[in-house]
Amino acid sequence: MVHPRVNAMLLTPICPFSISGRPALLPDDVCLWLKIRSGSFVQLAFDGKAPNFELTLNDKIIITRSKYSVRTVNKREQDRDWMKHITSLLYWNLDPKNHNLSLIHI
């Protein structure tokens, strides 16, 4: 989760083939260069849609933040206290056995 006011690039592998494929929160001005260094079969897909692109040895992929931001829609009170809203949605610090407890705000 990233607060709506954080200027950053979130790199999220979708359906990674190993457990080492983790999301990364990067500064918004970072430029990533990926280079294919082995002869194994590598395919690149955008949003899971065809056509996929087959990459070969020494091909490079450059990843940068888009000049367009993702806009989110929030209720007014959600924007004022984002953490409180996320806490209530995810039931953080709430005992699921005792529904009479109130949330403990972080």
Q: What are 3-33's pLDDT values in tens digits?
A: 777 888 888 887 777 788 888 899 999 999 9
- pTM score, whole prediction: 0.57
pLDDT above 70: percentage of residues in the chain: 76
Q: Average pLDDT in the 47-60 region?
A: 81
Tell me the DSSP string of the chain: ---TT--EEEE--SS-SSTT---EEEETT-EEEEE--SSS-EEEEETTEEEEEEE-TT-EEEEE--SSPPP----HHHHHTHHHHHHHHHTTT--TT-TTPPP---
